[in-house]
Structure 1
Amino acid sequence: MPLLDAAKGIACAVIVGHHLSRYGPMPAGAYALAPDFFAWLSNEGRLAVQVFLVIAGFLAAASLAPDGTLRVDRPVARILQRYGRLVMPYLAALTVCVLVAAVVRPWLDEEVVPASPTFGQLVAHGLLLQDLLGYESLSTGVWYVAIDFQLFALALALVGLPTLLQRASGAAPVNAGTRWLPVALVVVLAVTSLVLFNRNAGLDDTAFYFFGTYGLGMLVFWIGRATRFSTWQSAVAMLALVGAGALAIDWRSRIATALVTALLLAVAQRRHWLSPAHWPALAVPLQRLGRMSYSLFLIHFPVLLAMNAAVANAGPHGAWFDAAGLVATFGLSIAAAALLYRWVEARPASWRGVFTLFAALLVSGIVVSH
């Protein structure tokens, strides 16, 4: 789906720009050159995460339950597979970040540089439990990886619950009357998240806080399966009303962004814009960026730390030097992401790879802490 790859590429570029505009001395020095642009990136760039959440929900529905019922024979194995695919590039990027932070710590007196990690902190990150256990993050944005894993597991549990209960009770197979029960469960939890959980900041370390956005993506996929235009139109209208109602209760720009993304995705799906035939060759660079967007999201922070340290110790310089440093940071981040994607993310996930990278993270953390 080239359109989704391109959307992820643009969203990831905005998120990287958001971090580049907030962390270290370079953005502070370059701010005077384009104050409005830097202010927008700093304040609003984070909203691009909502695009990823909607697309992730859309793809989860397509993978787990394209017809509304669970298509996974071994749910636990599928969850473990998801963990492996997420953590292999994640663990590699965290190892790089731990090492880079140790190198730049004496040269960059900034709060953005993570402190030397503890053993418990390293283990918690490897298990995607750092936020739930209250540990400081080793890299910016790693909260998203933990939330993505929680959301996938929660979505699988919701769509698989009716089937699992029927198997346990020995009841008859799912029939037409109960076929869309999993979808109903997703609707209930998504609406509850939008109007209740997402308004409680104390839940932002859990999937319940984000499931409204993720659920919008899942529902859009199922809506797109409608064969009649009138059915599709009514379902999209209901989706828009639910989102508008949640915003009327409590306006949140993140939910507004997610709702617009979901509605645009619904139109694109209906008009078959997700097909490769609708994309010219000019869009190929964005598609490639989108395919390695996860690697870019993971690896750009240690590149940012290293460049901030280099520029901060380059002697007296002006705003244009800092701006050039930011541009170079973005370019080097893409280069590093291409390597991470090729060497780790694009390769099949395996438990041997997970254990090896987990060990590398633990060893690097222990070495730099002593």
Structure 2
Amino acid sequence: MSSADHPKNKPPKIQQRLLHVDAMKGLAAQLIVLHHLSAYGPISESLSVVLPQLMDWLYHYGRMAVQVFLVLGGFLSARALSAQGQLLDGRVPDLLWRRYQRLVLPFMAAVVMTLLVSALVAPWLPELVPASISLPQLLAHATLLHGVLGYESLTVGAWYVAIDLQLFALLLALLWVARQLALPRAWRRVIGPALVVLVMLASLWFFNRMAGLDNWALYFFGAYGLGAMVHWLGLIRHQRLGLALLSAAVLIALVLDFRERVLLALFTALVLAALQQRHHIGRCLLADRKSAPLIAHLGTHSFALFLVHFPICLLVNALFEYRDPEHGWQALMALLSAWILSNMAAVPFYRWIEAPAGRLRLLPLLARLLSKALRA
């Protein structure tokens, strides 16, 4: 390895990143885009004729990449709320508001983009655009309650954004309960993760087997809790024993009711734990590779890609339908074009919408405006 390739000579931001997490997020986001391209529109219909096995695989298994997002979401949230295993720091309302703001501002921007594109492509793709839009439906999306209240989603993946907030709120609540207990600090630091394990097991063994609960966090907390426990187990000596016990618990869940998504969540958690351990000892598999900046880029823009790809895919599908091509290879070129354009669109979306949304201090601003309005 040349001196230029040595980890110490990498750009500081690359050194500080969890590149293995970036790689997993980036791959999962790409699979979600390809899954939606295999599920909606004339491109999917045309390619299903010439590449039926590929399109069938993307349709049935591409969507399972969301389990990777769930596990990683739990891991990153636990890491943010309890980096060294300490008790929860900060005020719960502030933490929850910041999470909501980081999610809802880019999400609503993506909803607006989708609605504008839907109005444009409606003559060619009437089956892919909302039949009607109401103010209560928009407000339900803005509060991330559309699934709970039974409103039709205005863009694909809307359910995941709402569930992400619910899962974070549930994790936050469990850690807050542990912090409030009148017990020694050392005990409360153990009780927090213990509560997470209990709710995780309840999800895996019971709630995740009830399809009617798929608008609620308890349905998905099994995968999310696995990710959180990967973080906490990485802070103790007996990590392997802890992972073995978690694996046994998941295997019991699979015996009760075999679910491929749960098996994938377990596999993701074990891979994440192994890669995280290598990261701790300075042996990250990706740090020395020239592809590290690209991996960091894909991880950084994964959420933006998740949000922005559907209006791009609608546009390309509408153009494909308008031209009405006769050859299957043209459908393949259309799919690749939609995929590439989605990745390109994620860059300005992240730079101009997602990143500023994370820095914006909206609550103090709203408080000042309300104070001025009351004094007027």
Q: State TM-score, norm by structure 1.
A: 0.89
Partner of 1:210: 220
Partner of 1:198: 208
Q: Secondary structure at the match of 1:281?
A: coil
Partner of 2:343: 334
Q: What's the CA shift for 1:266?
A: 1.2
**Distance in 1, Cα, partners of 2:55 & 2:230:** 33
1:20 paired with 2:30, answer: no
Q: What's the CA shift for 1:71?
A: 2.9
**Distance in 1, Cα, partners of 2:119 & 2:282:** 46
Q: What's the CA shift for 1:275?
A: 5.6
1:46 paired with 2:53, answer: no
Amino acid at match of 2:196: V
Partner of 1:95: 112
1:75 paired with 2:92, answer: yes
Contact 1:11 1:48 in 2 (8 A): yes
**Distance in 2, Cα, partners of 1:44 & 1:237:** 26
Partner of 1:180: 190
**Distance in 2, Cα, partners of 1:151 & 1:119:** 26
Partner of 2:362: 351
Distance 1:133 1:203, change over 3 A: same
Partner of 2:259: 252
Contact 1:79 1:153 in 2 (8 A): yes
Q: Secondary structure at the match of 1:220?
A: helix
Q: What's the CA shift for 1:36?
A: 1.1
Hey, which of these two has a bigger chunk of helix by percent? 2
Partner of 2:334: 325
**Distance in 2, Cα, partners of 1:353 & 1:314:** 51
Q: State TM-score, norm by structure 2.
A: 0.88
Partner of 2:279: 272
Q: Secondary structure at the match of 2:332?
A: helix
Distance 1:53 1:115, change over 3 A: same
Q: What's the CA shift for 1:70?
A: 3.0
**Distance in 2, Cα, partners of 1:151 & 1:5:** 21
Distance 1:83 1:176, change over 3 A: same
Q: What's the CA shift for 1:273?
A: 6.7
**Distance in 2, Cα, partners of 1:313 & 1:262:** 44
Distance 1:97 1:352, change over 3 A: farther
Distance 1:241 1:352, change over 3 A: closer
Per-residue CA distance 1:315-338 (angstroms, 9 max, x = gap):
442111111111110111111111
Contact 1:131 1:143 in 2 (8 A): yes
Q: What's the CA shift for 1:176?
A: 2.3
Amino acid at match of 1:267: A
Per-residue CA distance 1:39-63 (angstroms, 9 max, x = gap):
1001111110000100110011111
**Distance in 1, Cα, partners of 2:307 & 2:187:** 44
Q: What's the CA shift for 1:354?
A: 10
Which stretch has the larger CA shift, 237-246 or 177-186?
Answer: 177-186
Q: What's the CA shift for 1:352?
A: 8.0
Distance 1:116 1:236, change over 3 A: same
Q: Secondary structure at the match of 2:291?
A: helix
Partner of 1:58: 75
Which stretch has the larger CA shift, 129-138 or 282-291?
Answer: 282-291
Partner of 2:304: 295
Q: What's the CA shift for 1:160?
A: 1.3
Distance 1:350 1:179, change over 3 A: closer
Q: What's the CA shift for 1:118?
A: 0.8
Q: How many residues align?
A: 345
**Distance in 1, Cα, partners of 2:281 & 2:160:** 25
Q: Secondary structure at the match of 1:9?
A: helix
Contact 2:81 2:88 in 1 (8 A): yes
Contact 1:2 1:275 in 2 (8 A): no
Q: What's the CA shift for 1:311?
A: 0.8
Higher-RCO chain (CA-CA 8 Å, sequence separation at least 6): 1
**Distance in 2, Cα, partners of 1:354 & 1:145:** 24
Amino acid at match of 1:71: L
**Distance in 2, Cα, partners of 1:266 & 1:277:** 12
1:129 paired with 2:145, answer: yes
Match of 1:161 among 177, 201, 214: 177
Match of 1:223 among 221, 225, 233: 233
**Distance in 2, Cα, partners of 1:343 & 1:117:** 26
